[in-house]
Amino acid sequence: MTTITSTQRSEVGSTGPAGPRKRARRSGDGVAGYLFLSPWIIGILLLTLGPMVTSLYLSFTDYDLFDSPEWVGLDNYQRMFEDARWLKSVRVTALYVVLSVPVKLACALAVAMLLNNERRGRAFYRAAFYGPSLIGASVSLAIVWKAMFSDDAVIDRLLRAIGVNTGGWAGNPDFSLLMLVLLAAWQLGAPMVIFLAGLKQVPRELYEAAEVDGAGPWRRFRSVTLPMISPVIFFNLLLETINAFQVFTSAYIVGGPNGQPAGTTLFYTIYLFDRGFGDYRMGYASAMAWMLLAGVGLVTLVLFRTARGWVYYSGDKR
């Protein structure tokens, strides 16, 4: 959230008075600017770019952490497509993304719309719904989640009370992934807050005009709210998709390095981690990381392409 506001602020600054702009063009001030940027530049060179280049190199090698890396060309990339567990991890991850992102976004939007109304204790409800996201990546949360979904635990009892007998989900290969999808949906705080901000931007006149024209609540939602917040939906969709591809902590707690039960929670990141740090196949793991980058990049690109059809920016002339 802070990124949005700071970007907005800088955007406002640059369109402001021309004075500071002129000065920045003088060469001496350029150096000072880079000096101010240097902590960030050094950080990105050492902590992001350096490891990225190294991992790109390692992805073309056979590297077991002990002996020096041995160049094998595209071997690692080729092997992936013959690796049954890799294919499985891709399937599990894709299924998770396809399930968890829409569910989470729908829940976040629904809650945001509820909280957008003027009513007493609004601040409390917002905090309450945002809460789970604050402890989102925490290990303890995943442990509690697993315990809740075990045999004869809360969820099992509730379901049995209404006549559904599934047993514990944590040990059941048919339900383990669903359990993680629900965990993701529960942590809807971040997209919810962004949705809230988006809903506040929708001009009231539009609703009033629609009401005058006799539009009911559903119609107003479909024809006013959705198009007006479509940039925000798109933004949330992108971020949540990218995040969902990288789910790790909760899955590792629930399923461990083997993706228990029966490999149904073998996410891409889990398999990557296990290959690298469990089996000491760092070259293969690096290649997997770059395939993930390529895959997520491709999905993002496709999303951007489709966005032209359904995202409406109020400044655009069409």
Partner 1 sequence: MQFLKRFITVAAVASLALASAGCGDDGGDSAGSGPVTLRYSWWGNADRAALMQKAIDLFQTKNPNIKITPSFQEYEAYWQKMATETAGNNAPDVFQMDFSYLREYADRNALYDLKKQEGDALKLDDLLEGLKGAGEVKGGLYGVPVGGNTWGYMYNPAAFAQAGVPEPKPGWTWNDYRTTVAKITQATKGKVYGGGNYVGSYYNLELQLRQEGGLLYTEDGKLGFDKARLAKFFSEGKALADAKAVLPIEKSVQIKPQHALELDLIAGEIGWDNFMARYAASTKAQLKLGPVPSDNPNSSGQYLKPAMLLSVSKKTKHAEAAAKLISFMINDPEVGKIFGANRGLPATNAQRAAVQLEGPLATVAAYEEGLKEQLTKAPPAPPKGAGTLEQAFIRIAEELQYGRISVDEAVNQFFTEVEETLES
How many amino acids of this chain bind partner 1 (CB under 8 A)? 57
CB of 177 to partner 1, least distance (A): 14
Applying CB under 8 A, among 116, 133, 138, 150 the residue interacting with partner 1 is 150
Say whether residue 4 binds partner 1 (CB under 8 A).
yes
Dihedrals phi, psi of 61, to nearest 5 degrees:
-125, 165
Applying CB under 8 A, among 235, 247, 271, 283 the residue interacting with partner 1 is 235
- C-alpha 150/C-alpha 154 separation (Å) is 8
- C-alpha 34/C-alpha 160 separation (Å) is 63
Binding mask 162-201 for partner 1 (x = CB under 8 A): -----xx-xxxx----------------------------
Burial class (CB in 10 A: 0-12, 13-18, 19+), 111: buried
Closest to 184 (Cα-Cα) out of 232, 243, 259: 243
CB of 48 to partner 1, least distance (A): 5
Say whether residue 47 binds partner 1 (CB under 8 A).
yes
CB of 188 to partner 1, least distance (A): 18
- C-alpha 290/C-alpha 265 separation (Å) is 21
CB of 126 to partner 1, least distance (A): 23
In sequence order, the β-bridge partners of residue 62 are 70
**Structure tokens that stand for 222 in this block:** 């479909």
CB of 228 to partner 1, least distance (A): 10
Find the angle CA(65)-CA(80)-CA(50) to the nearest 5 degrees: 45
CB of 28 to partner 1, least distance (A): 28
Applying CB under 8 A, among 55, 61, 100, 225 the residue interacting with partner 1 is 55
- Give the binding range for partner 1 (CB under 8 A) out of 34-42, 100-108, 187-195, 260-268: 260-268
Is the CB of 130 or the CB of 175 nearer to partner 1? 175
Q: Is 312 helix (H, G, I), strand (E, B) or coil?
A: coil
Count other Cβ atoms within 10 Å, centred on residue 258: 15
CB of 112 to partner 1, least distance (A): 18
- C-alpha 275/C-alpha 2 separation (Å) is 36
- Give the binding range for partner 1 (CB under 8 A) out of 5-13, 115-123, 181-189, 210-218: 5-13
Count other Cβ atoms within 10 Å, centred on residue 55: 18
**Structure tokens that stand for 286 in this block:** 């690096």
Count other Cβ atoms within 10 Å, centred on residue 32: 10
Binding mask 278-307 for partner 1 (x = CB under 8 A): xxx--------xx-xx--xx--x---x---
CB of 259 to partner 1, least distance (A): 8
DSSP state of 59: T
**Structure tokens that stand for 72 in this block:** 């094998």
- C-alpha 130/C-alpha 187 separation (Å) is 8
Q: Which 71-100 residues touch partner 1, going by CB under 8 A?
A: 84
- C-alpha 265/C-alpha 257 separation (Å) is 9
Say whether residue 238 binds partner 1 (CB under 8 A).
yes
Residues that bind partner 1 (CB under 8 A): 3-4, 7-8, 11, 47-48, 51-52, 55, 62, 64-67, 84, 146, 150-151, 167-168, 170-173, 231, 234-235, 238-239, 242-243, 245-246, 256-258, 260-263, 277-280, 289-290, 292-293, 296-297, 300, 304, 313-316
